[in-house]
Amino acid sequence: MQTAGPVAADAPAGAPDRPGPSNHLTPADQAALLRAMLLMRAIEARALTLYRQGRVPGSFYDGFGQEAVSVGAAFAMGPRDRLCPLHRDLGAHLVRGVEPVRILAQYMGRESGVTGGRDGNVHFGDASLGVVGMVSMLPDMMCVATGMAMAFKLRGEQRVALTWFGDGATSRGDFHEAMNWAGVQRLPVVFVLENNQYAYSTPLGKQFAVDPVERARVYGFPGVTVDGNDAEAVFEAVRIARERALAGEGPTLVEAVTMRMHGHAAHDDMRYVPPALLAAWAQRDPIERQERRMAALGVDVAALRAEIDAVVEAAAAEALAAPMPDPATAAEGVFAVGEAQPLGDGRAPWSWFASDPAADRAVPTGSAANGNGAGRGTAR
């Protein structure tokens, strides 16, 4: 079993951290990781309050305590890579460039939300930023990511697909079919297994007999375990997996070990989780860890928090004022008309992409500049 650098979970709680596990992150990158995680947590906290005030219809899911898994992994992806995040991976959307106001509007079912009210909570993906939104059937998106990687390989492109899925999802057939397919065709795909110990109320012991990361070998590629609460460790593991993929060495399964600190959804009080387990994991909060690193580098973490809070507060106010979708449009858009537009390129804030001439560079993308119209809401 390979690991990507020292597993920072060994660090005693409260002690200053060792230097981060990756040699490829500048201090600005490290700060960007923290910033993205703070933003994810702040948005989700604000949304949870809105949910309890009855302003978020349906259910509410968050990735509290798991921010490093989505932020760290997404950070390693280039602009032309493609992502399939899941419901606790809000950080991936933020790294790729979705603005907080659109996310909060999405939760509240507003017309200016990423799906315009067509789907709820984290079931969204801005196609113009290279992200495919999830379906509820898990892990269907593993097959989709595999297919994207298949196309990249067929066309000889230096691009990678990445998808997240949970421990529970590995029990379903699509996990096997995607892993098998990716392995037999040696595809440039990174499978990130978010092992957060529970699938709703089902603990790992009832989910599988053999840890999924062990099974990767059987499909013909490596499985790697990494501390899911260390954003830089997750980043490093995915960075290495991406390099492997680009070199034609095929897929990697990266198991990010973490803990789901909130219930399955806001309506779940997780009484089935032993409080001692939660308490132990609370000591290893990924944001607090990164804050300690940044503080050690002289970054004003409190100011950063305040800045993020202000951003989220402003976004919430704007989203709250946004109108609901027009009911007359409810049956529109079932079928595409005209030429099918593929996914667009997303933001890739890792400094290496900007500095390395060989790195894939993105045509400037994002809502205003991207005229190809792929994805909902790009013209807003």
Partner 1 sequence: MPQLGVSVVEGTVVAWSLAVGDEVAADQSLCEIDTDKIVTDIPSPAAGTLTEILVPVGETVEVGTVLARIAVDASAAGQAQLRAGPESAPPTRAHAGPSAGARASSSPPARSTSVQDAAAPPALSASMPVAPGPRYSPVVQRIAAEHGVNLSLVAGTGRGGRVRKQDVLAVAAAYEPRNADRSLHTETPYRPEDEPEPAGQLSRMRRAIGAHMKRSLDTAATCTTWMEADMSRVEAARRRAKASALLGVTALPIVARCAIEALAEHPALNATLEGERYTRHDAVHLGVAVSLGEDGLIVPVIRDAQTLSVEQLGLAIRDLARRARSGGLAPDDVRGGTFTVTNPGQFGSLMATPVINQPQVAILDLEAIVKRPIVVSSDDGTDDDMIAIRPQTILGLSWDHRALDGAQAAQFLAAVRRRLEHWDVRG
Partner 2 sequence: MAVMTYLEAISDALREELRADERVLVMGEDVGAFGGAFKVTDGFVEEFGEARVMDTPLAEAAIVGTAVGAAVVGMRPVCEMQFADFVACGFDQLVNVAGKTHYRFGLAVPLVVRLPSGGGFSGGPFHSQSPEAWFMHAPGIKVLAPSTPADAKGLLTAAIRDPNPVVFLEHKHLYRRINGEVPAGTYETPMTARIAREGSDLTVIAYGAMVHAALEATEPEQLDCASVEILDLRSLVPLDDAAILASVAKTSKVVIVDEANETCAPGAQVAALIADRAFEHLDGPVRRVATPDVPIPFSPPLEQAVLPSVERIREACRELLEY
Per rule CB under 8 A, is residue 325 in the interface with partner 1?
yes
| Residue 49 touching partner 1 (CB under 8 A) | yes
Tokens of 198: 């529970």
Cis geometry, peptide bond prior to residue 139 (ω within 30 degrees of 0) = yes
CB of 106 to partner 1, least distance (A): 14
Catalytic site residue from 35, 82, 260, 293? 260
- By CB under 8 A, is residue 376 in contact with partner 2? yes
| Residue 203 contacts residue 214 (beta carbons within 8 Å) | no
Q: Does 162 bind partner 2 (CB under 8 A)?
A: no
Site residues for partner 1, window 213-252 (CB under 8 A)? none
Instruction: Copy the structure tokens of residue 240.
Output: 């290495």
Phi, psi at 368, each rounded to 5°: -80, -45
Hey, which residues between 352 and 371 contact partner 1 (CB under 8 A)? Answer: 371
Name which of 137 and 321 has its Cβ closer to partner 1: 321
Quick check: is 260 catalytic?
yes
Is 375 among the residues that bind partner 2 (CB under 8 A)? yes
Q: Which residues pair with 331 in a beta bridge?
A: none
Give the integer Cα–Cα distance in Å for 149 and 184: 13
Inter-CA distances, 106 with 43, 74, 116, 120, 184, Å? 12, 21, 7, 7, 38
CA distance 234 to 257: 10
Residue 272 known to be catalytic: yes
Indicate whether 108 belongs to the interface with partner 1 (CB under 8 A).
yes
Q: How close are the terminal C-alpha atoms of the chain, in Å?
A: 47
Is 320 a binding residue for partner 1 by CB under 8 A? The answer is: yes
Q: How far apart are CA 346 and CA 94, in angstroms?
A: 10
Q: Alpha carbon 371 to chain centroid distance?
A: 25
Q: Which residues pair with 131 in a beta bridge?
A: 83
Q: Which is nearer to partner 2, 174 or 211 (CB)?
A: 174
CB nearer partner 1, residue 124 or residue 219: 124
Angle at CA of residue 230, ends 353 and 100, nearest 5°: 65
Does 304 engage in binding with partner 1 (CB under 8 A)?
no
Residue in 74, 25, 353, 71 with CA at minimum distance from that of residue 190: 74
Site for partner 1 in 336-355 (CB under 8 A): 336-341
- Contacted by 164, from partner 2, partner 1, none: CB < 5 to 8 Å by type: none
Q: Does 305 bind partner 1 (CB under 8 A)?
A: no
Q: Which of 178, 183, 261 is nearest to 222 (CA)?
A: 183
The listed partner (partner 2, partner 1, none) that binds 115, CB under 5 to 8 Å by sort, is partner 2
The pattern of x and - marking residues 130 through 159 that bind partner 2 according to CB under 8 A reads: --xx-xxx--xxxxxxxxxxxxx-x-----
SS3 readout for 90-136: HHHHHHHCCCHHHHHHHHCCCCCCCCCCCCCCCCCCCHHHCECCCCC
Q: Is 83 in the site for partner 2 (CB under 8 A)?
A: no
- Of 179-187, 194-202, 209-217, 329-337, the segment contacting partner 1 by CB under 8 A is 329-337
Q: How far apart are CA 80 and CA 178, in angstroms?
A: 21
How many residues contact partner 1, by CB under 8 A?
49
Using the rule CB under 8 A, give the single segment among 94-102, 227-235, 243-251, 372-380 that binds partner 1.
372-380
Q: Smaller CB distance to partner 2: residue 116 or 263? A: 116
How far apart, in whole angstroms, are the C-alpha atoms of residue 216 and residue 199?
Answer: 20
Q: 246 contacts which partner out of partner 2, partner 1, none, CB within 5 to 8 A by kind?
A: none
What string marks each residue from 325 to 344 as x (binds partner 2 by CB under 8 A) or -? --------xxxxxxxxxxx-
Interaction partner, residue 123 (partner 1, partner 2, none; CB < 5-8 Å by kind):
partner 2
> Which residues neighbour 357 within 8 Å (Cβ) at sequence distance 6 or greater?
none
Chain residues that interact with partner 2, rule: CB under 8 A: 82, 114-115, 118-119, 123-127, 132-133, 135-137, 140-152, 154, 161, 173-174, 177-178, 180-181, 184, 333-343, 373-376
Chain residues that interact with partner 1, rule: CB under 8 A: 49, 51-55, 57-59, 108-111, 263, 265-269, 320-329, 331-341, 371-374, 376-380
Residues carrying an active site annotation: 260, 264, 272
